[in-house]
Amino acid sequence: MLNYEKLSKTNRTMAAMLLLIMFMVLAVTDLFISFFGGAVLGVLLVQFALEVRMFFRRRSEIRGSVRFYPLIRSYESLPPNNRMLIRVALHALLVLLVLLGLLSTFWGGLVLGVLGTVVFNEVLMYRQQRRKAPVQKTNIQP
């Protein structure tokens, strides 16, 4: 063990400040690792859910599908712009809760990873639909 009594006050202060800075760096690093680990896990969960959905879609086409989820059905019946607005609002709310410390960084990262993936997928699908839409030519007479 280091004997602090043999050190000068300046060296003890510097050692204490160095230890405090190291502790703060490790704590912040732990928060970032927890947050981004949750976000990566959220992305992986969305990918897994899509794979499961594709697998069961084939089986449900054979047997015929019955939906028991009225909330999901009503959400899916919303126009795409309203669905995107709801997702972005949830995203902003979760970021605010994580920043205020009301939500754990891991769980906030997990939910933000899921929502971010879903929003990113919606944006990509919207861009693909816009590219596939026929371009209307206008007849401009000089």
Q: Are the C-beta atoms of residues 117 and 91 closer than 8 Å to each other?
A: no
Which residue ranges make up each domain of the chain? 11-60+71-132
Is 62:86 a contact under the CB 8 Å cutoff? no
CB 113 within 8 A of CB 124: no
Say which residue the tokens 């927890």 belong to: 34
Q: How far apart are CA 90 and CA 118, in angstroms?
A: 12
- pLDDT tens over the chain, length 142 residues: 456 666 677 887 888 888 888 888 888 888 888 888 888 888 888 888 878 877 777 665 555 454 556 766 777 788 878 887 888 888 888 888 888 888 888 888 888 888 888 888 777 877 888 887 665 655 555 5
Interacting residues of 99 by C-beta distance below 8 A, sequence separation 6+: none
**Predicted local confidence at residue 1, as pLDDT:** 45
